[in-house]
Chains A and B, each alone.
Chain A
Amino acid sequence: MNEKIEPILRAENISISFGGLKALDNVSLTINPGEIFAIIGPNGAGKTTMLNVLNGFYKQDEGSIFFEGKKRSKHMKPNVIAAMGIARTFQNLALFTGMSALGNIMVGRTMKMHSNIFSQALYWGFSRKEEIEHRRAVERIIDFLQIENIRRTPASMLPYGLRKRVELARALAAEPKLLLLDEPMAGMNLEEKEDIARFVLDANEELGYTIALIEHDMGVVMDICDRIAVLDFGKKIAEGTPDEVKANPEVVKAYLGTAEG
């Protein structure tokens, strides 16, 4: 028997509706370790809904999710899912605005740190040592994303593009097994888009992260990702390599609104 790669995450026949609206209809996805997987589709296709199901914000009505081969309970809370190794960013940014960039990234590392309130009170030295260790790891991420000079800036005062980067840093700080990015390039100019695309590629190639990202705009995605799933009105209409997807008439129809032949 051929040795098959165990997918890191497998979503099977996911359906979810809000009131009468079927946001996802029987969608299945497979994300393999080490790849950049993209979910694309026009507005309202259910991309963000899918991400929210994957990280536990929404509970699917039907279908199941397997993470690292094990079926995940439908009622698992998002913080538990995060602790299992799924980190994410948000389309509309969800930084902790009351904190500095560094503070945000340190919070992202919460799950990696073990000292609790009692050890902090009773054995200060241990917590301190741990804190320093994690601070070092966080500095590496800051270096990686080239945000050294804004470490101490309150998140609320950062320009949009940098906020997106800090949010990415916060997600990376958790050293997740699977990183979910919700429109990491939304609202950016071309140069910023290329920056983020490079960081995503580097995070994948140099640091070895498995990444699933959502994009609205096909351009950049086609260049950086290994495989793509296309959603339209809550249904998956195509899945495959960028070239396969580009050639798929269904996809062309969804994006351009016309059917050929």
Chain B
Amino acid sequence: MAFFFEVLITGLMVGIMYSLVALGFALIFKASDVFNMAQGAMSLFAALALYGFLEQYLHLPLWLALLCTVAAMIIWAYAIVFIVLKPLVNRPPLMLFMATFGVAYLMEGIGQSIYGTQAKGLNLGIPDEMYEVAGIFISSFDLFFAGVAALLVLGLVWFFQKTRNGRALRAVSDDHEAALSVGIPLLKAWTLTWIIAGVVATVAGVAWGTRLGVQFSLSFIALKSLPVLIIGGIDSIPGVILAGLIVGACETLGEVFIGPYVGGGIQTFLPYLLALLVLYFKPYGLFGKEIVERV
């Protein structure tokens, strides 16, 4: 039984990462109806940038390197909104979707040309010790990132529920025209959303990067978070967070307990299978808003 829980906890930790990436997707989708294919690339770029500031080019102290990384993501947010999205306002969603595809490749390309293509080990000096709690081993490293992710989510909840700007962003995500009519500037709201998505991507990228090394496969987490979005419902932020945990737990448990019977590799398709099941029974996701269109 202890083994089961250890596997479950590992799965939940993986799930937190999925949640974070999917959270970035959901934030941008809600605010601007853009399905941001660059979310994974943003995570990758943030991890690369942190590595650059910390070890490769400048040897900044950690706090400064983190600040600089966030600054870099803010610059990206402005660039994406004003150079890519602004000229495409009111175009069909597919165009915006393709544009974010372009942004993803651009980010990867720029990342490669600045930081090179080889995998990098990111070491933030977070202790990785095992603790035993009720017979179950938990890594302090995992706990640390679970804590950071929880703080981030709580911070976002506070921001969206209690502050003026947070409310304005929710208003924009509900109804563009009504938001304009009360005086909320759309482009500013979008920029702020992309900045927040950039910060979320930074946390996700750095967490993945420290655990698995900073490598280009990081930008493929984006693909893993698609089933997370489907299961949670793309417009539900709590749904996406929960779905990330569910997917992480299921795929890890599946790999360990069912995998041996079918020859392994279950991890790669189980999330999609879950997503299909959810689509079958709840087409808007477990927590998504049902869209009723009047004819």
Contacts and interface: CB of A to CB of B under 8 A. Distances in A.
B238 to A, nearest CB: 12
Interface in B132-170: 162-165, 167-168, 170
Given A107-B168, A115-B164, A120-B163, A98 B174 contact: yes
B177 interface: yes
Nearest to B196: A117
A87 interface: yes
Interface residues of A, number: 33
B178 A96 contact: yes
A50 B190 CA distance: 29
A79 B164 CA distance: 16
Interface string A62-78: 00000000000000011
A153 B183 CA distance: 24
B165 A107 contact: no
B237 to A, nearest CB: 10
Contact of A78 (B162, B167, B171, B181): B181
B185 interface: yes
A80 B178 CA distance: 13
Contact of A110 (B162, B177, B184, B192): B184
Interface in A156-174: 170-171, 174
B167 A79 contact: no
B94 interface: no
A55 interface: yes
B33 interface: no
Interface in A119-151: 120, 127, 131
Given A79-B183, A79-B186, A82-B182, A113 B174 contact: no
Contact of B167 (A55, A80, A95, A99): A99
A107 B177 contact: no
A110 B182 contact: yes
A95 B178 contact: yes
A139 B178 CA distance: 21
A174 B165 contact: no
A25 B243 CA distance: 55
Interface string B12-27: 0000000000000000
B252 interface: no
Contact of A98 (B162, B165, B173, B192): B173
Interface in A90-122: 90, 94-99, 103, 106-108, 110-111, 113, 115-117, 120
A79 B170 contact: no
B257 to A, nearest CB: 39
Given A103-B167, A110-B168, A77 B180 contact: yes
Contact of A174 (B168, B179, B182, B192): B182
B175 interface: yes
A106 B173 contact: no
A57 interface: yes
Contact of A87 (B171, B177, B181): B181
Contacts of A82: 180-183
A207 interface: no
A88 interface: yes
A83 interface: yes
Contact of B180 (A78, A98, A117): A78
Contacts of A94: 175, 177-178, 181
Contacts of B177: 57, 78, 90, 94
Interface of A: 55, 57, 77-80, 82-83, 87-88, 90, 94-99, 103, 106-108, 110-111, 113, 115-117, 120, 127, 131, 170-171, 174
Given A90-B177, A97-B175, A131-B164, 17 more contacts: A77-B185, A79-B180, A80-B183, A94-B177, A95-B174, A95-B178, A96-B175, A96-B179, A99-B170, A107-B170, A107-B184, A108-B182, A110-B182, A110-B183, A110-B184, A120-B165, A174-B182
11 contacts: A79-B180, A79-B183, A79-B186, A80-B183, A82-B180, A94-B175, A106-B164, A106-B167, A107-B182, A107-B184, A110-B184
